[in-house]
Structure 1
Amino acid sequence: MAMAEERKQLLHLVFGGELKTLTGTEFRDLDALDIVGIYPDYASARDAWKAKAQASVDNAHMRYFVVHLHKLLEPEGAVGQGL
């Protein structure tokens, strides 16, 4: 079995945008969200998040997030139920 097949795929979404306030998580303009990508594991998603966060360090309102899509796709107890 190939190495890629041995690891379980745990999808993660990386996205970001300018926030309305420094302490909130509401975006200024939803049409301007930066959808960085979907990654097969947390490590690659974190690398993408870190690169984008470092590139936008001069804008205090810009924030990037990692969303654990695998938890939304297979919430605890729903595996195999075809949700």
Structure 2
Amino acid sequence: MSKLHLVFGGRVKDPQTLDFDEKTIEVVGIYPDYASAEKAWRAAAQRTVDDAEMKFVVVHLHRLLEPDPDLQAPHG
């Protein structure tokens, strides 16, 4: 499985948090590796550099799809 990364952003209520206003979410895309995701993140962030309430992030989807087995609760 490739190491998928999601890049998205939007307006935040406080620039020091990740508390997004759901109505403003913009999905930039899903990328097969971190380097591609970082390039897309930089472009999106640069486009909105003058707006302190806009924030873009990279989410490591592969970590959500393949969680650490040591952290999973036992089934039973």
TM-score (norm 2): 0.85
Q: Please tell me the root mean square deviation across aligned C-alpha atoms, in Å.
A: 1.4
1:37 aligned residue: 29
Find the partner of 2:3 among 4, 10, 19: 10
After superposition, what is the alpha-carbon deviation per residue over 1:11-35, rounded to whole angstroms, capped at 9, x for unaligned?
Answer: 00000001101222111x3022010
Cα deviation for residue 77 of structure 1 reads 2.2
| 2:69 counterpart SS class | coil
Q: Which runs of 4+ in 1 moved over 3 A?
A: none
Tell me the distance in 1 between the aligned counterparts of 2:31 and 2:4. 6
TM-score (norm 1): 0.78
| 1:46 counterpart SS class | helix
Unaligned runs of 5+ in 2: 71-76
1:22 aligned residue: 15
Larger Rg: 1
Q: Does 1:72 align with 2:64?
A: yes
Cα deviation for residue 47 of structure 1 reads 0.3
Tell me the distance in 1 between the aligned counterparts of 2:19 and 2:68. 27
Unaligned runs of 5+ in 1: 1-7, 79-83
Q: Work out the number of aligned pairs and report it.
A: 70
| 1:47 counterpart SS class | helix
